[in-house]
Chains A and B, each alone.
Chain A
Amino acid sequence: GQQLNQSPQSMFIQEGEDVSMNCTSSSIFNTWLWYKQDPGEGPVLLIALYKAGELTSNGRLTAQFGITRKDSFLNISASIPSDVGIYFCAGLPNYGGSQGNLIFGKGTKLSVKP
């Protein structure tokens, strides 16, 4: 079935560093979403992207919808300890169909050392 390749799988960084993660697909997506999951909680939407080339920020987070519509990246600037968690990309493929076709990447686990 359809898959998203999300990388890196995990990151260990120092507080204050910038973080970058991305998702790629072999096929075109109409929408890219980035979620964050805190330990013991459900995924929470961070940023939604709807158009190729779109660059959207949410505080220290910036995400872009790739021009080819096959990729997206998420950057976090000046990381802080509460950025710890698992970040998921998710995409809505371009082949239409019914609800529930949102496809998730396997997540990037972020650890921040104070």
Chain B
Amino acid sequence: DTAVSQTPKYLVTQMGNDKSIKCEQNLGHDTMYWYKQDSKKFLKIMFSYNNKELIINETVPNRFSPKSPDKAHLNLHINSLELGDSAVYFCASSRLENIQYFGAGTRLSVL
């Protein structure tokens, strides 16, 4: 059983398109996150979200928006994709103690 699952694993798309990445966790966690990992492997947090608040990293363009239909899901929507959006995107989840468990990643390539 995969604890944090993301789909798709690979996403290749054209510049200007709108795309979504889905994330689901079956750990019963109350907080979910999205990270971006660039080509140098730096992990940068984009969003954290629980049922009370959304915390946005101020450097994230507003073309990126998280959407949470319920506590177990946090999907990432990206509008007007740009070349610089190419990266690996990781979803993670945690309970209050803040140990985060990661999905396997979505490799986004914008052409």
Interface residues of A (CB under 8 A from B): 31, 33, 35, 37, 40-45, 48, 86, 88, 90, 92, 98-102, 104, 106-107, 109
Contacts and interface: CB of A to CB of B under 8 A. Distances in A.
Given A45-B99, A48-B99, A106-B42, A99 B104 contact: no
Contacts, number: 58
B41 A86 contact: yes
Nearest to B90: A42
Q: Is the interface of A mostly helix, strand, loop or mixed?
A: strand
Interface of B: 4, 31, 33, 40-43, 45, 47-48, 50, 53, 55, 90, 92, 94, 96-105
Given A99-B48, A100-B48, A88 B94 contact: no
Q: Which 5 pairs across A and B sit closest by C-beta, in order of nearness?
A: A100-B48, A42-B102, A99-B31, A104-B43, A43-B102
7 contacts: A33-B99, A42-B104, A45-B100, A92-B98, A99-B94, A100-B47, A102-B100
A96 B97 CA distance: 12
Given A98-B48, A99-B31, A100-B31, A107 B42 contact: yes
